């Protein structure tokens, strides 16, 4: 099965900073990559699918890129409400797999 590895596991940044989270698949998955945000005490929320397509209602400061094995989630200007854990997910085929998560905090 394909494994998903995120880096870093956690990060701390200042409000307004540009934040980048990486996700690597153990095999190529084309653009079958989604990103989810899980705020503390809340359920996960879909941010991006097809590697770079923003889900309806998601702020434009979030963007995704990548293809094959290497993907990136970028927050262009970090806001206090972006404090959360972010997960990538591969979905080229079942079984689905999530990355281990990246916890984003405000410095």
- Binding letters toward other proteins, positions 69-98, x by CB under 8 A: ----------------x-x-x-x-xxxxxx
CB 105, CB 12: distance < 8 Å: yes
Residue among 16 and 40 whose Cβ is closer to other proteins: 40
Using CB under 8 A as the binding rule, whether residue 100 contacts other proteins is answered as yes
Report d(CA 86, CA 60) in Å as an integer. 16
- Please say which residue, 66 or 99, places its beta carbon nearer to other proteins: 99
Name the residue nearer to other proteins (CB basis): 17 or 98: 98
Region from 12-20, 22-30, 34-42, 62-70 binding other proteins, contact rule CB under 8 A: 34-42
Task: List the helix and strand counts (H, then E) for the chain.
Answer: 0, 11
Find residue 88's DSSP bridge partners.
35
Would you say 102 and 88 are in contact if contact means Cβ atoms under 8 Å apart? no
Binds other proteins (CB under 8 A): choice among 44, 61, 69, 83: 44
Report the alpha-carbon distance of residue 78 to residue 23 in Å, rounded: 19
């Amino acid at each position: 099965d394909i494994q998903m590895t995120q880096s870093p596991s956690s990060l701390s940044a200042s409000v307004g900073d540009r934040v980048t989270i990486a996700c690597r698949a153990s095999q190529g998955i084309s653009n079958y990559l989604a990103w989810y945000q899980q705020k503390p005490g809340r359920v996960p929320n879909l941010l991006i699918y097809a590697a770079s397509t923003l889900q309806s209602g998601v702020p434009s400061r979030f963007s995704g890129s990548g293809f094959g094995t290497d993907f990136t989630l970028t927050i262009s200007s970090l806001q206090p409400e972006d404090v959360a854990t972010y997960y990538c997910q591969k979905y080229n085929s079942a079984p689905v797999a999530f990355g281990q998560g990246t916890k984003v905090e405000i410095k």
